[in-house]
């Protein structure tokens, strides 16, 4: 008997980006979307187009740039939302409109201030509108788990009748427990026989730490789509973690009899990329992708694993992409070796991209004894981001000592021209940031500054993420270098690039 296929709906770029402090630009969103496609997700929820011009642009860029995957846009049950969502995704290979409205009495009474009858009519009309624009429509009943089951069933039945091909039953506030949620899904299948002819989805939040468990209970009750996010990102305590859902279904396939289309060897790389671009670190003990997920400190455990890995490991680290760090290049490696290593990691660079990557690789290799797969992944990502930069840091100089005021000089290239800036200030980082402001004519206020090492050792690449406030709005920038000062300056320049795209910096 064939295992049932479970479809993975990734909402990292929509619900995940709603996590406090995350603000991705359209290029970063596309980079994540392309990696999600390599990972093998079935549907990418690219964003909420009506929420801002930037979000519209990001969704539109993903729709036209991502291939082999359904690209979905979220829309409230409002005419303009639905039409804007369609405008953003209509160039996608496989577009989907995802519209939603609340069905719980607490939401109807205090948020929507509408009657059950009014919400039912709105749901019918908006699904019909979405279906008139797009062949693939998903409908969500927000706060479903706190809704009256009978009323919820009437709304879901109406949505199916109007043409929704996917029905999402979300645990919006993370209130459910697994045994209860599984029963709730089964009850809706009984109340709405038409659900057997469409995809039934669940979107579980993690407020009580049960998002993954509730999603699994729903699958056992008949759901065929799970909405989740990389590293469990999302509103409040987050969403169901994609990597945990996928590896549960793979590791326990014999008992659950469900499969996904995910290429699990891309999980670790995807997790790293999302962590890097969002600035949200992965906790060390996080299942599947945490630094300690396959580490063994106990002597008893170490002894067992050395004798037979399965004594204490129920998954092979290589199955989630943790076995790639054996690719090692050095300063004597040539262009062909770099190209081959990049292709083995899944990066197909153009000649120009390879030439620049080779220059940067040699610069890093001169300072590091070994350049690992993790270094190469970050190097490739950095190259792709630099191609879209308007301002490019060409050189910098910082002078500092215990007896003098730190001073910095920078040269920045823009449209082939050179901008210079200088500043003296109370600290080395402050002086270089102010010198950059001076060069580009901006006035930035540093809101957040994070530094971490990409790999182990004193010669590790340093990754810096800054959040800079310009014109009352916050813009993030991330960069890496073996020199933390250089990484800091590049990250600050990248934040100003994002501000430039938003029209705040000239």
Contact assessment for residue 462 and residue 14, using Cβ atoms and an 8 Å cutoff:
no
* Domain covering 391-501: architecture: 2-Layer Sandwich (3.30)
- Sole residue written with tokens 């002894």: 303
The Cα–Cα gap between 286 and 38 comes to: 22
Per this entry, what is the length of the chain?
506
The DSSP line for 369-410 is S-B-HHHHHHHHHHHHHHTT-SEEEEEEEEEEETTEEEEEEE
The Cα–Cα gap between 272 and 9 comes to: 19
Determine which helix (DSSP H) or strand (DSSP E) holds 484, and give its type and residue range.
helix 484-501
Residue 415 DSSP class: T
Contact assessment for residue 354 and residue 336, using Cβ atoms and an 8 Å cutoff:
no
Residue 456: Cβ within 10 Å count: 9
Contact assessment for residue 422 and residue 440, using Cβ atoms and an 8 Å cutoff:
no
The DSSP line for 99-122 is EEEE-SHHHIIIII---HHHHHHH
The Cα–Cα gap between 135 and 299 comes to: 58
Domain boundaries, the chain: 4-278, 294-319, 335-386, 391-501
- 423: which residues sit within 8 A by CB, 6+ positions away? 407, 408, 431, 432, 434, 435, 437, 438
CB environment 321-353: b (16+ within 10 A), e (fewer): bbebeebebeeebeeeebbebbeebebebeeeb
pLDDT at 1: 53
Q: Which of 91, 85, 94 is nearest to 14 (CA)?
A: 85
Tens digit of pLDDT at every position of the chain (506 positions): 578 999 999 999 999 998 887 878 888 899 899 999 999 999 999 999 999 988 999 999 999 999 999 999 999 999 999 999 999 999 999 999 999 999 999 999 999 999 999 999 999 999 999 999 999 999 999 999 999 999 999 999 999 999 999 999 999 999 999 999 999 999 999 999 999 999 999 999 999 999 999 999 999 999 999 999 999 999 999 999 999 999 999 999 999 999 999 999 999 999 999 998 898 989 989 999 988 887 765 555 556 656 777 777 788 888 998 754 445 677 777 778 788 777 766 667 788 878 877 887 777 777 666 676 667 766 666 665 665 678 999 999 999 888 889 999 999 999 889 999 999 988 889 999 999 999 999 999 999 998 988 766 666 778 898 999 998 888 888 888 888 899 999 999 999 988 888 788 87
Domain boundaries 4-278, corresponding CATH code: 3.20.20.70
Compute CA distances 147 → 101, 123, 142, 154, 324, whole Å: 12, 15, 9, 11, 47
- 352: which residues sit within 8 A by CB, 6+ positions away? none
Determine which helix (DSSP H) or strand (DSSP E) holds 276, and give its type and residue range.
helix 267-278
Q: Tell me the two tokens of residue 184.
A: 């709730």
Work out whether strand 462-470 and strand 473-481 pair parallel, antiparallel, or are unpaired: antiparallel
| Rg of the chain taking only CA atoms, in angstroms | 25
Number of DSSP helices (H) and strands (E) in the chain, helices first: 17, 16
pLDDT at 362: 79
Q: Tell me the two tokens of residue 301.
A: 């455990």
Is residue 197 exposed (0-12), middle (13-18) or buried (19+ Cβ within 10 Å)? Answer: exposed
pLDDT at 324: 45
pTM beyond 0.85, yes or no: no
The DSSP line for 297-322 is -SHHHHHHHHH-GGGT-SS-GGGGTT
């Amino acid at each position: 008997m064939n295992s049932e296929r479970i479809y993975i709906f990734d909402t990292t770029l929509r619900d995940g980006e709603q996590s406090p402090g995350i603000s991705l630009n359209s290029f970063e969103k596309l980079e994540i979307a392309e990696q999600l496609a390599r990972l093998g997700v079935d549907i990418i929820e690219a964003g909420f187009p009506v929420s801002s011009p930037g979000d519209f642009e990001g969704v539109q860029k993903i729709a036209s740039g991502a291939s082999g995957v359904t690209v979905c846009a979220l829309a409230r049950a409002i005419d303009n939302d639905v039409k804007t969502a369609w405008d953003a995704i209509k160039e996608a290979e496989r577009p989907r409109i995802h519209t939603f409205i609340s069905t719980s009495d607490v939401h109807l009474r205090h948020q929507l201030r509408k009657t059950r009858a009014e919400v039912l009519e709105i749901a019918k009309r908006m699904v019909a509108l979405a279906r008139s624009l797009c062949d693939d429509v998903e409908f969500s009943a927000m706060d479903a788990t706190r809704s009256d089951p009978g009323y919820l069933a009437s709304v879901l039945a109406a949505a199916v009748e109007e043409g929704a091909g996917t029905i999402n039953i979300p645990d919006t506030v993370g209130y459910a427990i697994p045994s209860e949620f599984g029963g709730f899904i089964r009850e809706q299948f009984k109340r709405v026989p038409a659900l057997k002819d469409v995809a039934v989805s669940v979107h579980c939040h993690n407020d009580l730490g049960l998002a993954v468990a509730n999603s699994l209970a729903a699958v056992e009750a008949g759901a065929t789509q799970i909405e989740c996010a990389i590293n469990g990102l999302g509103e409040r305590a987050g969403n169901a973690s994609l990597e945990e859902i996928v590896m549960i279904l793979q590791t326990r396939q014999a008992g659950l009899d469900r499969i996904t289309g995910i290429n699990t060897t891309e999980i670790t790389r995807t997790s790293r990329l999302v962590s890097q671009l969002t600035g949200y670190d992965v906790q060390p003990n996080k299942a599947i992708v945490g630094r300690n997920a396959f580490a063994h400190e106990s002597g008893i455990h170490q002894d067992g694993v050395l004798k037979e890995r399965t004594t204490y490991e129920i998954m092979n680290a290589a199955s989630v992409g943790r076995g790639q760090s054996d690719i090692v290049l050095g300063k004597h490696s040539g262009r062909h070796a770099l190209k081959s290593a990049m292709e083995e990691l899944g990066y197909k660079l153009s000649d120009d991209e390879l030439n620049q990557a080779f220059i940067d690789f040699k610069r890093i290799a001169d300072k590091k004894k070994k350049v690992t797969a993790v270094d190469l992944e970050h190097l490739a990502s950095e190259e792709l981001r630099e191609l879209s930069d308007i301002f490019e840091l060409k050189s910098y100089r910082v002078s500092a000592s215990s007896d003098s005021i730190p001073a910095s000089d920078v040269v920045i290239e823009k449209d082939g021209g050179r901008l210079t800036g200088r500043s003296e200030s109370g600290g080395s980082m402050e002086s270089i940031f102010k010198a950059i402001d001076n060069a580009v004519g901006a006035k930035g206020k540093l809101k957040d500054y994070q530094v971490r090492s990409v790999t182990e050792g004193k010669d590790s690449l340093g990754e810096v993420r800054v959040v800079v406030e310009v014109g009352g709005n916050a813009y993030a920038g991330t960069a890496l270098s073996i020199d933390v000062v250089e990484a800091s300056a590049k990250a600050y320049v990248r934040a100003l690039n994002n501000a430039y795209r938003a029209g705040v910096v000239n």
